[in-house]
Homo-oligomer: A and B are copies of this chain.
Amino acid sequence: MEKDTVLILSGGIDSTTLLYEYQDKIALAVSFHYGSNHNDKEIPFAEYHCNRLGIKHITIPLSFMKDYFQSSLLQGADAIPEGNYDDENMKSTVVPFRNGIMLAIAAGFAETNGLHRVMMANHSGDHAIYPDCRPKFVDAMGKAIEAGTYEGITLETPYTNLSKADIVKRGSSLGIDYTQTWSCYKGKEIHCGKCGTCRERKEAFALAKLADATQYEE
């Protein structure tokens, strides 16, 4: 099978699962260091899995986000709200148009490397709070990437209509060790267990009826 795809890989559960599921198609995985609390925790996991699978991995620094963008995700652990992932207060963690920016850069990487496809692991649980995870955005962005590149590069997001529990089930059947992934927005030593992303992570394992080996603060 031809390796023709650039994957946006954070080192969290969703994109790591996509990496394993499509490992035969992924030529390049790209992580973005935009200055969040948890980038330094998640990106080493992205690198770990790429090394394990023999897939080329690049980390792109986007320092302007930390310098200019408003988001609690860029303001240190204490700024992260506690609550459910789809609660209104999680809006403070949104980094403006982050997926648009990452997808555009990934499309540039695809074009410059003669690849034909970009993949991202947005899922249905993201839709409530994050506008740049919704199908309407993904459809339009895919058309923009196709029209704006010589090769007519396509965008695929196979998890758009899956829940995180579905993703965890899929990844477990692929043998992924999820202790080697990161979710917590606080980005401290271990997962806090209380922020929106930790709650979402716990809930995904519970709904999937799978053991959660993550070490939480409580």
Within A156-190, the residues touching B (CB, 8 Å) are none
Contacts of A137 in B (CB 8 A): 144, 147-148
Residue picked from A65, A105, A134, A145, most chain B C-beta under 10 Å: A105
- The contact of A97 among B58, B96, B149, by CB within 8 Å, is B149
A150 — nearest CB in chain B belongs to which residue? B131
Contact B58 A145 (CB under 8 A): no
Shortest distance between the CB of A192 and any CB in chain B (Å): 26
Interfacial chain B residues near A149, Cβ < 8 Å: 96-97, 131-132
Within 8 A of B (CB), among A50-102: 58, 60-61, 63-65, 68-71, 94-101
The contact sample of 8 A-B pairs, CB cut-off 8 A, is A65-B108, A71-B112, A96-B149, A97-B107, A100-B104, A100-B145, A101-B101, A140-B140
Q: Is the CB of A148 within 8 A of B68?
A: no
Q: Nearest Cβ distance between residue A5 and chain B, in whole angstroms?
A: 16
Closest Cβ of chain B: how far from A110's Cβ, in Å?
A: 8
When all copies of this chain in the complex are counted, the total is 2
The size bracket of the interface on A is 35 or more
Give CA–CA (A99, B149) in the complex, Å: 10
Q: Are A101 and B104 in contact (CB under 8 A)?
A: yes
**Counting CB contacts under 8 A, is A209 at the interface?**
no
Contacts A132-B148, A149-B131 known; A68 to B100 CB distance under 8 Å?
A: no
Q: Which residues from chain B contact A98 at a C-beta distance below 8 Å?
A: 108
A148 to B136, CA, bound (A): 8
Give the docked Cα–Cα distance between A144 and B184 (Å): 28
Closest chain B residue, CB of each to CB of A32: B64
* A68 touching B109 in the complex, CB below 8 Å, given contacts A97-B104, A149-B131, A149-B132: yes
Bound-complex Cα distance A16 to B68 (A):
23
